[in-house]
Structure 1
Amino acid sequence: MEIIRNLDKLSDVLTPDAIVRVQNEASNYLKQDNLFFTVLSYEQEGLTVKVEQDRPLTEKIYTFDELVFIAKDLFGRYIINEVFAHPHPYVESPAEVVNGKWVQLHMNHYEIRLKNVAFQTGIDKTNLSAWINEKRPMSRIVKAMFFNFFKVYAINDLVTNLSGEYKGYYYIKKYFGIELVERLVSLTKHKDVVITESGEDIKIFIP
């Protein structure tokens, strides 16, 4: 596994000792914070590096500016020319909100019974119950499965209200995506729908 991707592009610039040291420092960032570095180019204007954070191993999530600082600091000690950083901060999946209580809340909201979830997902009730009652931890795949399962219900509910004669306020959780809501509204007959964010919800006014 390459500690720094495309580091060979700097083989004519860095001494063997500098290559070892910069790789050791990058390795520490990888182990502690899941940071990855990629050398994009080295030209007369300077060095261009991509720095990205994958799912953090700890609670530390670096900001855009922090990633820029880290890249400039790491390579700036060994490169005379300017260091240009292309930061890619970690963006948490919306499915990370899912836990047993979250699933129970949505089952109650959409009046869905466990046997319905089992039938539609093809997963037996024993496993579903263990996850929902938090007797077994949910993997990222399981969280994504539950999230998208209820996202379909949320979308169907919204489309039903937009397609019918419903008038007034309708709420949908923000983690289901305001872009999706805007796209769905644009496909309906309603032209004066007002979409705003309100706390954890997307508030939709259908006149």
Structure 2
Amino acid sequence: MSIQNIDYLGSLLNADELNSLKKAAERHSQQSNMDFKIVSVDDKMVEIETSQGETASGKYATQQVLLKRTAELFKKRLPGLELQITANAVLPSPADVVDVSWIDQKMQEKGLRIKQIAFETGIDRESISDWVTGKKAMGKTVKAMFYFYLSR
């Protein structure tokens, strides 16, 4: 659901306005994986939390952008009310830098060979070789393993 606790706004918006808000929020959810949560509502203020989950592109909105988009979404539908918005921006994983060239560079810097990595990690040499040469795609877990192994 793109807006948790949307029913809290039932006393402020009619059914058509709620539906319009839901549809607009769903667009944000589909395009940017943004979700909203109505935390509390009173006659003067609405408290909203915004978060962004992982995106396929790996591009994430800053906290400032999340705040702006949330304000734009709710402000026009709730004029005259103060919006108190909290945004939780995604922090990129340090392992996101890992690719074949990064691994190659780190192995050369440290004088490591595939055989040594296989011995120390307990992972078979063939798998290590396939990841290091780019024959086999690396998932997040594998990238994290290489990052922490080669960054020590």
Task: Please say whether Structure 1 and Structure 2 have the same fold, judged by a TM-score greater than 0.5.
Answer: yes
Task: Name the residue aligned to 2:146.
Answer: 146
User: Do 1:33 and 1:57's aligned partners in 2 also have CA atoms closer than 8 Å?
Assistant: no
Instruction: Report the TM-score when normalising by structure 1.
Output: 0.67
Task: Name the residue aligned to 2:29.
Answer: 30
Corresponding position: 1:18 with 2:17? yes
Instruction: Quote the Cα distance in structure 2 between the aligned partners of 1:96 and 1:22.
Output: 34
Task: Name the residue aligned to 2:110.
Answer: 110
User: Do 1:98 and 1:143's aligned partners in 2 also have CA atoms closer than 8 Å?
Assistant: yes
Instruction: Quote the Cα distance in structure 1 between the aligned partners of 2:119 and 2:17.
Output: 59
1:23 is displaced (CA, Å) by 1.3
1:52 is displaced (CA, Å) by 1.6
Unaligned runs of 5+ in 1: 155-207
1:57-85 per-residue CA deviation (whole Å, 9 max, x = no partner) reads 33643222221111111111222311121
User: Do 1:72 and 1:84's aligned partners in 2 also have CA atoms closer than 8 Å?
Assistant: no
User: Do 2:47 and 2:84's aligned partners in 1 also have CA atoms closer than 8 Å?
Assistant: yes
Task: Name the residue aligned to 1:161.
Answer: none
1:75-132 per-residue CA deviation (whole Å, 9 max, x = no partner) reads 1122231112112222211110001111122122222221221122222111111111
Instruction: Report the TM-score when normalising by structure 2.
Output: 0.89
User: Do 2:47 and 2:85's aligned partners in 1 also have CA atoms closer than 8 Å?
Assistant: yes
Q: Secondary structure at the match of 2:92?
A: coil
Q: Secondary structure at the match of 2:51?
A: strand
Instruction: Quote the Cα distance in structure 2 between the aligned partners of 1:50 and 1:5.
Output: 9
Instruction: Quote the Cα distance in structure 1 between the aligned partners of 2:131 and 2:37.
Output: 38
User: Do 1:33 and 1:58's aligned partners in 2 also have CA atoms closer than 8 Å?
Assistant: no
Alignment of 1:53-202 (within 5 A): 53-58=52-57, 60-80=59-79, 81-151=81-151, 154=152
User: Do 2:104 and 2:132's aligned partners in 1 also have CA atoms closer than 8 Å?
Assistant: yes
1:56 is displaced (CA, Å) by 2.6
User: Do 2:2 and 2:34's aligned partners in 1 also have CA atoms closer than 8 Å?
Assistant: no
The verdict on how the C-alpha distance between 1:12 and 1:44 changes in structure 2, with shifts beyond 3 A counting, is: closer
User: Do 1:51 and 1:87's aligned partners in 2 also have CA atoms closer than 8 Å?
Assistant: yes
> Identity of counterpart residues, as a percentage?
28
Instruction: Quote the Cα distance in structure 2 between the aligned partners of 1:105 and 1:58.
Output: 25
Unaligned runs of 5+ in 2: none
- Larger RCO, structure (CA 8 Å, separation 6 or more): 2
RMSD: 1.7
Q: How many residues align?
A: 151
Task: Name the residue aligned to 1:41.
Answer: 40
Letter in 1 for 2:70: A
Q: Secondary structure at the match of 1:83?
A: strand
1:33-66 per-residue CA deviation (whole Å, 9 max, x = no partner) reads 1111111111234111111222233364322222
